[in-house]
Amino acid sequence: MQIIPAIDLRKGKCVRLIMGDVRDETVYSKEPVAMAKLWQVKGARMIHVVDLDGAFSGRPKNMELIIKMIKALRAKVEVGGGIRTEKTIKKYIRAGARRVILSTSVIGSDKFLKKMVGKYGDKIVIGVDAKNGKVAAKGWKDITKIDALDFIKQLEAAGAKMIVYTDINRDGVLKGPNFKGVVNVLKNTKMKVIISGGITRMKNIERCIDLSKKYDNVEGVIIGKALYTGNIDLKEAVKLVKE
């Protein structure tokens, strides 16, 4: 299981939102590359980078900055936000991104998903963003009527190998993950699952480690706001997982 720090980009800055709402934005750094290097120094082997402007607009807005980040790091980078065409996928992979996260582009489009998974294999990861059990799209602005578990089963049937599962109601609020929802996902898929949303304290990480012993499809845990507020020390979290 990997500990994966999150860097969310908006207007070139490293920010955190509450439940994806831009009205609840906190800027944590005007130097995202330096922030990524800090997480690397503290032990991160993978960094989760999201182009929030891209997610909201439907096309990449911080690509140049993200590519600069990829090239500046030894740690691997998984990138999401506004990735809705093969052209964008190619650009990120050619720049050195380890994983590219698709979401809106594959909701209701098995054809595109199958084609991308067929071409790029395990470099393609699907973001399953759920609010009250329903799949969200377009930077979480649109809540669909699609049941998250049904969507996960469709993804697996289409050949996807890994998902990032985020409970939107827990994202950025420091109240702990919805572990009931996480367990429900782990039980209902063989795909690898990266847990995201609400990791607040070391006890949450301990619980994820316990889950990884019970379910062999726990791939990692994304930590965002808790790292920036100091609720969790990344070095300690990485050490805990290694032990």
Indicate if 8 belongs to the active site: yes
Catalytic residue among 51, 129, 167, 171: 129
Distance CA 68, CA 63 (A): 8
Distance CA 139, CA 201 (A): 26
Distance CA 196, CA 218 (A): 11
Indicate if 129 belongs to the active site: yes
**Residue 129 Cα distances to 7, 102, 138, 148, 170, angstroms:** 17, 11, 10, 8, 11
Torsion of CA 219, 207, 77, 101, to 10 degrees: 60
Q: CB of 102 within 8 A of CB of 109? A: no
H or E stretch covering 119: helix 110-120
The answer for residues whose C-beta is within 8 angstroms of residue 154's C-beta and 6 or more apart is 110
Catalytic residue among 8, 51, 53, 167: 8
Residue 70 — left, alpha, or beta (φ > 0 → left; ψ -120 to 50 → alpha)? alpha
Distance CA 165, CA 171 (A): 11
Instruction: Give the catalytic positions in this structure.
Output: 8, 129
